[in-house]
Amino acid sequence: GPSISVSSEPVGYANKKLYVYVKNSTVLHHMYFLKKNMLRKIQKDFHKDFVKDIVFTLDRKKVPSDDQEKDKLKETLSTLLSKDQDD
């Protein structure tokens, strides 16, 4: 919802894990309760194997940064978006 989007931000993707920065420990705690539903929605809306786990972090420095993974993410999103346009 709107309050969650103000307090969190997806900041990375590596090894089929989506990394989400959260502003504080209260939001982090709340997100753990929502994790299972969030993961199901992502898998339903995108692709079952696109994201296998969601990692919440208070420290952006702990997010892996891999150019190869970024390229894979862009390629996957492009493929998914082009499939939607064809349907």
Task: Count CB-CB contacts under 10 A for residue 52.
Answer: 13
Domain count, the chain: 1
**Entry pTM:** 0.70
Per-residue model confidence as pLDDT tens digits over 3-55: 777 888 888 888 899 888 899 999 999 999 999 998 998 888 887 888 999 99
| Domain range enclosing 33 | 2-86
pLDDT in tens, 50-70: 899 999 999 877 776 666 666
CB neighbours (10 Å) of residue 53? 11
Given a contact cutoff of 8 angstroms between Cβ atoms, the answer to whether 56 and 39 are in contact is no
